[in-house]
């Protein structure tokens, strides 16, 4: 049966969203290269549009592929054919990329087996497509900087981002409380209810974060050991004010396009630690540590299977509608993750 599928579905070309210069991609048909002994042919199933994908196309990201390049840094595909030397991946497996810059916005792709990692196919396809960047970022930040115990508190801004939502759910599963900061908006109560349903301990606005009443909140929970910053600027400085002595603030994004400003006294007398996290670097640093990668993905998939971790609300878009999807992804206050389905 699998052999049948292999023959029937084997594509010879791929419909891809490529960009020849920094700006916007266009849809082209690419001839797939022949399969080498160490390669894998993958039929893509779904690939999200993340902020870093857009920054990469615009040429403002930290790593930029040689042009022309296919857009998209994550996504899930099903393996159609494997080279004769490939041992780690079988036909029918679901796979996600191990690194950024591999070009996931296409209907089929031939990649080295080393560039792919298998994921279980018993989780929703949208969860698999969005597993490798944001939930991994959330899990690592909750695991690698402070030793969080049940009852401890984490404070974060950008709480409604894909990372923020994953932080809420993973923390809740660990019994860790989250103080979640979001920007004020018309539908704030709905957003608050949604985040609380995910497990958020409390949800406050950026304005509340700056007010003296914040002290009241930390009468109910211990002061945070860990602050997660996806914004920068004033929001980051405010998070810092509430951190306990010796705590850590981890920056993973800079939505406000402003640097992180740290009072000298917080460093010297409160011993706060200011760090950064980039999941792509983590994956590169652990390239030869499959155990670490698999155990992280397994932990996330267990949370997904038990209903404790869901992907952000997604809008599924066909490849032909990519222009609309890109523009929707760039709108402020967007809560819907745009996902290309192939």
Report 37-66 residues binding a second copy (CB under 8 A): 62
Distance, in Å, from the CA atom of 64 to the CA atom of 57, rounded to the nearest integer, reads: 8
Answer for which of 200, 266, 314, 342 binds a second copy (CB under 8 A) is 266
- Contact string (CB under 8 A) for a second copy, positions 201-240, x = contact: -------------------------------x--------
**Do the bridges between strand 108-112 and strand 39-48 make them parallel or antiparallel, or are there none, so unpaired?**
antiparallel
254: Cα within 13 Å, side-chain hemisphere: 13
CB atoms within 10 A of CB 115: 16
**Do the bridges between strand 69-70 and strand 13-19 make them parallel or antiparallel, or are there none, so unpaired?**
antiparallel
247 sits near a second copy (criterion: CB under 8 A): no
Is 147 or 216 the residue whose CB approaches a second copy more closely? 147
29 sits near a second copy (criterion: CB under 8 A): no
H or E stretch at 117: strand 116-119
Distance, in Å, from the CA atom of 319 to the CA atom of 337, rounded to the nearest integer, reads: 15
262 sits near a second copy (criterion: CB under 8 A): yes
276 sits near a second copy (criterion: CB under 8 A): yes
Convert 119-174 into a string of H (helix), E (strand) and C (coil): ECCCCCHHHHHCCCCHHHHHHHHHHHCCCCCCCCEEEECCCCCHHHHHHHHHHHHC
Is 189 or 265 the residue whose CB approaches a second copy more closely? 265
97 sits near a second copy (criterion: CB under 8 A): no
- How many residues lie near a second copy (CB under 8 A)? 28
287 sits near a second copy (criterion: CB under 8 A): no
Answer for which of 269, 289, 320, 324 binds a second copy (CB under 8 A) is 269
Helices 162-173 and 188-198: angle between axes, nearest 10 degrees: 40
Output the smallest distance, CB 181 to a second copy, in A: 17
Written as six digits, the tokens of 82 are 């494997």
Span interacting with a second copy, options 69-77, 91-99, 115-123, 276-284, rule CB under 8 A: 276-284
Answer for which of 7, 267, 330, 336 binds a second copy (CB under 8 A) is 267
Q: Cα–Cα distances in Å, from 150 out to 246, 306, 307?
A: 18, 19, 20
271 sits near a second copy (criterion: CB under 8 A): yes
Is 194 or 254 the residue whose CB approaches a second copy more closely? 254
Q: Which residues are catalytic?
A: 61
Output the smallest distance, CB 257 to a second copy, in A: 8
Output the smallest distance, CB 165 to a second copy, in A: 20
Answer for which of 275, 284, 294, 331 binds a second copy (CB under 8 A) is 275
Q: Cα–Cα distances in Å, from 260 out to 128, 158, 239, 254, 275?
A: 33, 15, 11, 9, 11
Distance, in Å, from the CA atom of 201 to the CA atom of 178, rounded to the nearest integer, reads: 5
Binding residues for a second copy (CB under 8 A): 62, 232, 251-254, 258-278, 281
């Amino acid at each position: 049966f699998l052999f049948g599928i292999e023959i029937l579905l084997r594509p010879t070309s791929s419909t891809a969203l490529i960009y020849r210069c920094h700006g916007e991609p266009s849809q082209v048909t690419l001839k797939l290269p022949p399969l080498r002994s160490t390669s894998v042919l993958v039929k893509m199933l779904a690939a999200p549009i993340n902020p870093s994908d857009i920054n990469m196309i615009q040429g403002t990201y930290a790593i930029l592929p040689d042009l022309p390049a296919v857009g998209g840094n994550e996504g899930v595909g099903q393996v159609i054919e494997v080279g004769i030397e490939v041992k780690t991946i079988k036909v029918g497996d679901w796979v996600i990329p191990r690194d950024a810059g591999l070009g996931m916005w296409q209907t089929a792709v031939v990649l080295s087996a080393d560039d792919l990692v298998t994921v279980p196919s018993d989780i929703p396809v949208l969860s698999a497509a969005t597993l490798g960047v944001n939930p991994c970022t959330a899990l690592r930040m909750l695991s690698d900087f402070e030793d969080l115990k049940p009852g401890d508190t984490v404070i974060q801004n950008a709480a409604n981002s894909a990372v923020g939502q994953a932080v809420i759910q993973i923390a809740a599963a660990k019994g860790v409380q989250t103080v979640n900061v979001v920007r004020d908006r018309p539908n704030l109560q709905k957003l608050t209810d949604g985040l609380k349903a995910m497990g958020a301990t409390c949800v406050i606005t950026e304005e509340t974060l700056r007010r003296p009443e914040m002290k009241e909140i930390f009468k109910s929970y211990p002061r945070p050991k860990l602050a997660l910053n996806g914004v920068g600027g004033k929001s980051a400085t405010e998070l810092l004010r509430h951190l306990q002595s010796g705590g850590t603030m981890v920056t993973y994004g800079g939505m406000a396009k402003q640097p992180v400003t740290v009072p000298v006294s917080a460093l010297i007398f409160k011993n706060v630690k200011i760090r950064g996290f980039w999941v792509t670097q983590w994956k590169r640093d652990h390239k030869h540590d499959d155990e670490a990668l698999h155990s992280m993905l397994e932990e996330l998939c267990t949370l997904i299977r038990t209903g404790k971790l869901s992907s952000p609300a997604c809008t599924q878009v066909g490849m032909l509608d990519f222009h609309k999807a890109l523009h929707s992804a760039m709108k402020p206050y967007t809560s819907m993750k745009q996902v290309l389905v192939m």
